[in-house]
Amino acid sequence: MQRGRFITFEGGEGTGKSTQARKLAERLEAAGISVIVTREPGGTVLGEDIRALILKDRPQDPLTELLLFAAARAEHMTAVIRPALDDGTWVISDRFIDSTRVYQGKLYGIEPELLASLEKFIVGHDLPTLTLIIDLPAETSMERAHTRGTLSRYDAARVDTHKFLRDGFLEIADAEPERCVLIDGNLPVESVATAVWQAVHERLLANVVA
Ligand SMILES: Nc1ncnc2c1ncn2[C@@H]1O[C@H](COP(=O)(O)OP(=O)(O)O)[C@@H](O)[C@H]1O
Ligand SMILES: [Mg+2]
């Protein structure tokens, strides 16, 4: 049996990741592909507890936060992602390693060597097959996150922070073109979904469905 494919959505708050993750899952299901949607931090009972813990009471030390996220990811890989991929099920994760690189690395200044090392031990060879980075001007994504009404401490950050984070995601898209596709998020939901589907089709589906 063929292993499942691993797709991640990345980008700042309010760029449309969760919306597009759901839409892509619907399209894959309609194409007869077995797929699960999961998210980080979270994805398991323990992971969701860790997520709630961090959002409620932000650690003072960025290392504390990194290690809590890392623990959630290790559990997520072992309990959810690897078993699904082994089963031939496709996995869509709403945020993954690139969010860690951008938030914990670029924003909070954790050494890239430590991030790379954790990535190696926790994710290993199971890197995403395809990462869709949704790009949106900082002002628009902040506005959307406000409209959505669930404002996390990241959403509430200042516009220059959002710009800084956006640049971080753009740098990754630029550095890893084999894995990443940049998606223009500044279009209606359905147009973004079409661009996502095109990328998935080109990169992953050409040999699976007509
Ligand atoms: N392409 C789009 N155009 C306009 N509004 C959008 C678009 N995509 C998502 N939204 C809206 O913006 C808000 C944030 O979208 P969401 O998918 O939750 O973003 P994220 O998961 O990246 O934070 C939601 O209210 C959603 O309905
Ligand atoms: Mg979301």
How confident is the model over 75-94, as pLDDT tens digits? 999 999 999 999 999 999 99
Domain that holds residue 107: 6-205
Residue 138 to residue 168: CA distance in whole angstroms:
12
In this structure, which residue's CA is closest to atom 12 in ligand 1?
A: 144
Residue 115 lies in a domain: yes
- Looking at residue 155, its pLDDT comes to 62
pLDDT of 18 higher than 90:
yes
Q: What is the C-alpha separation between 69 and 51, in angstroms, rounded? A: 8
Residue type, 21: A
10 domain residue, yes or no: yes
User: Under a CB-based contact definition with an 8 Å cutoff, are residues 36 and 21 in contact?
Assistant: no
Q: What is the pLDDT of residue 45?
A: 98
In the predicted model, is pLDDT for residue 150 greater than 90? no
Q: How far, in Å, are 7, 67, 70 from residue 114 at the CA level?
A: 24, 11, 11
- Residue 13 CA, closest ligand 1 atom number: 23
Residue 210 lies in a domain: no
* pLDDT of amino acid 148: 76
How confident is the model over 29-48, as a mean pLDDT? 98
Query: Is 1 within a domain?
Result: no
Mean pLDDT of the chain: 94
Query: Tens of pLDDT along 162-184?
Result: 999 999 999 999 999 999 999 99
Q: Is the CB of 18 under 6 A from ligand 1?
A: yes
Identify the pLDDT of residue 158. 80
pLDDT tens, residue by residue, 102-146: 999 999 999 999 999 999 999 999 999 999 999 999 999 888 878
Q: Which of 24, 95, 143, 144 to probe ligand 1 with, by most ligand atoms within 8 A of CB?
A: 144
Q: How many domains does the chain have?
A: 1
CATH number at residue 57: 3.40.50.300
147: pLDDT confidence band, cut at 50, 70 and 90? confident
Asked if residue 70 belongs to a domain, the reply is yes
Both tokens assigned to 182: 């940049």
Show the beta-strand stretches assigned E in 26-169.
35-39, 90-94, 130-135
Sign of CA dihedral 126, 127, 132, 137: positive
CA of 16 to the centre of ligand 2 (A): 7
Residue 172 · residue 180 · CB < 8 Å: yes
Which residues have C-beta under 5 Å from ligand 2, the single-atom ion?
A: 18
Protein residue whose Cα sits closest to atom 15 of ligand 1? 16
> Which of 9, 13, 19, 134 is the best mutation target for the ligand 1 pocket, counting ligand atoms within 8 Å of the beta carbon and taking the most?
19
16 CB near ligand 1 (under 6 Å): yes
